[in-house]
Amino acid sequence: ATAGRTTLNGEGLQHQDGHSLLLASTNPAVVAYDPAFSYEVAFIVEDGLRRMYGESPEDVFFYLTVYNEPSPQPAMPELPDLREGVLRGLYRYSAGHGNGDSGPRAQVLASGIAVRLAMDAQHLLLEHWGVAADIWSVTSWNELRRDAIACEEHNLMHPGQDLRTPFVSSALSSATGPVIAVSDWMRAVPDGISRWVPGDWTSLGTDGFGRSDTRAALRRHFRIDPESITVAVLTELARRGEVDSDAPRQAIEKYQLGSEDLPGNKDTTEAVGE
């Protein structure tokens, strides 16, 4: 029906897809992408036509997950090696600014519709908590993983030669702060690259059954909304001692993310009949 577990919000358990990228990863012939923007789709389709029907066609087919949700489409950014990043699976879409070079910083990796949610979280983090967040568009978790596995296999069978570095490791080698991965898929999708990502890793995703509700309510339920991304970033920064240890709890209360369930909070629930 459509990609993502929270996008086709009225279908409940029937059509909400949080796992097709996992299935795609099991077939070596499937080249799967989870693009966020139209210019990414253009690069991917062009490359797919070349690889499937060009002068030297490959035995592959392309699988693109697109979303049944209106989304603003920005102009293509003028970034170095943008096309390579899109096709290989990762590029930095938006650098975090505003808190100086010495302030706390985090890396948020997002795919598909979650890139927009991550951008909203970037604003909350800077505006409310003084945290800069770099936003990375992950066009293909699967391609990043396959590249990393290919590098490992080459290094295993070629001792004494120069080691190959996975693209994801190289791209994030100079990034600072914890890494938070978020998508409209089960956590197992981004977790497939976690061992090659330098630094601390946290993933957010849509594990569990789908539900019938609004997109905003579903994203709050699965904890992939901008506020939950913000709390995840603050939690990792607090663990590293880079923000106040109480910041995550304060954020949960501020954004009304189930603060009544926090340890130590008074239970204000009234008994039936009182």
Q: Write b or e for each residue in 178-197: b if 16 or more Cβ atoms lie within 10 A of its Cβ, otherwise e.
A: bbbbbbbbbbbbbebbeebb
Point out the least confidently predicted range of 34-38, 43-47, 269-273.
Answer: 269-273
Torsion of CA 11, 15, 16, 19, to 10 degrees: 170
Q: Which residue has the tokens 């990393």?
A: 148
Q: Is the pLDDT of residue 254 over 70?
A: yes
What letter represents residue 98's amino acid? Answer: G
Identify the CATH number of the domain defined by range 20-261: 3.40.50.920
CA gap 220, 199 in Å, rounded: 27
pLDDT at site 14: 64
- In the predicted model, is pLDDT for residue 258 greater than 60? yes
Whether 229 contacts 180, CB under 8 Å: yes
The whole-number pLDDT of residue 97 equals 87
pLDDT at 102: 80
Q: Looking at residue 266, what is its pLDDT?
A: 45
- Chain-centroid distance, C-alpha 59: 29
Lowest-pLDDT choice from 80-94, 151-165, 206-220, 253-267: 253-267
Q: What is the pLDDT of residues 170-226, one digit of tens each?
A: 999 999 999 999 999 999 999 999 999 999 999 999 998 878 888 998 999 999 999
| Backbone phi, psi, residue 188, to 5° | -60, -25
Q: What is the mean pLDDT of residues 251-271?
A: 61
At 266, phi and psi to the nearest 5?
-70, 135
pLDDT at 16: 79
DSSP letters spanning the chain: --SBSSSSTT-TTTT-BSSHHHHHHT-TTEEEE---SHHHHHHHHHHHHHHHHSSS--S-EEEE---SS----PPPP--TTHHHHHHHT-EEEE---SS-TTS-EEEEEE-TTHHHHHHHHHHHHHHHH--EEEEEE-S-HHHHHHHHHHHHHHHHHSTTSPPP--HHHHHTTT--S-EEEE-SS-THHHHTTGGGS-S-EEEE---S----S-HHHHHHHHT-SHHHHHHHHHHHHHHTTSS-TTHHHHHHHHTTSSGGGSTT----PPPTT-
Cα-based distances in Å from 256 to 205, 211, 248, 262: 19, 21, 12, 11
pLDDT score at 210: 77
High-pLDDT (> 70) share of the chain, %: 91
Phi-psi region of 95 (alpha: psi -120 to 50; beta: other; left: phi over 0): beta
> Which residues, listed in sequence order, are joined to residue 179 by a DSSP beta bridge?
107, 201
